[in-house]
Amino acid sequence: MRKIKQGDQVVVVAGKDKGERGTVLRVVQRRRGLGVVVEGVNQVRKHQKPNPQLGQPGGIIEQEKPLDISNVMLLNPATGGGDRVGFKVLEDGRKVRYFKSNGETVDA
């Protein structure tokens, strides 16, 4: 189980996009560990050649690149900011994520 999953609301805590908020589109494996692609964050411009077989036009396209997973924190709706996440096992045997600051569970 990962601390940050696809679909989570996160806030960027380091880098050029510090303070930005967004939704995790996907979690990717990189050479140096895990990374996350966040919607609207870490936008880069890519020069793309046209590929008629796939129907791709050429030109300059905007695209999101992965951030290191250590540079984002899960957004706590109670506090409105980023928060650390831990794991605990409930009485019924389920393993859930919870916010370390107030103890609320992330997964209902």
DSSP 4-36: S-TT-EEEE-SSTTTT-EEEEEEEEEETTEEEE
Among 66, 63, 75, which Cα is nearest to 13's? 75
Rounded to two decimals, the pTM is 0.84
pLDDT in tens, 13-38: 999 999 999 999 999 998 888 999 99
> Per-residue pLDDT for 5 more than 80?
yes
**Contact criterion met (CB below 8 Å) for 33 and 68:** yes
Q: Is the pLDDT of residue 108 over 90?
A: no
Task: Report the candidate in 18, 22, 1 with the shortest Cα–Cα distance to residue 71.
Answer: 18
User: Is 99:106 a contact under the CB 8 Å cutoff?
Assistant: yes
Domains assigned to the chain: 9-50+58-99 (2.30.30.30)
Closest CA to 9 of 88, 90, 99: 99
DSSP-derived letter for residue 100 is: T
